[in-house]
Amino acid sequence: MRMQAKKSFAVIDYHRCDPRSCNPDEGICLAAEACSHKVMKQIDGIFEQPIIFQDMCMGCWDCIEACPLKVVFAKHVT
Ligand code: SF4
Ligand code: SF4
């Protein structure tokens, strides 16, 4: 019997993600800040969109809860 790889990770809707709008004072991505596994980061700095290292994402969805604009969502791949 062949085992099926199953993976869940967070993805960002980059058309709607806007650190200038969700956190106009500081430009800090609140979703990335909420990621205790440190796999979601603003690698280009504040006021820039974050990225998710999807291979390392734990699927805890803390980032989804934390994003004020609700632009982070769960993706399930089988
Ligand atoms: S993911 Fe959400 S909290 Fe993070 S910068 Fe984008 S809109 Fe803001
Ligand atoms: S689902 Fe959890 S581990 Fe993955 S990016 Fe979001 S907060 Fe980080």
Q: Domain residue spans in the chain?
A: 7-77
Residues with CB under 6 A from ligand 2: 10, 34-35, 37, 39-40, 52, 57-63
The protein residue whose alpha carbon is closest to atom 4 in ligand 2 is 57
In 10 A of CB 7, how many CB atoms? Answer: 12
* Four-way CATH pick for 7-77: 3.30.540.10, 3.40.50.10800, 3.40.718.10, 3.30.70.20: 3.30.70.20
pTM of the predicted model as reported, rounded to 2 decimal places: 0.92
Distance of CA 10 from the midpoint of ligand 1 (Å): 12
Segment 8-25 shows an average pLDDT of 98
Q: Encode pLDDT of 21-39 as tens digits.
A: 999 999 999 999 999 999 9
In angstroms, what CA-CA distances link 47 with 1, 33, 56?
Answer: 49, 13, 24
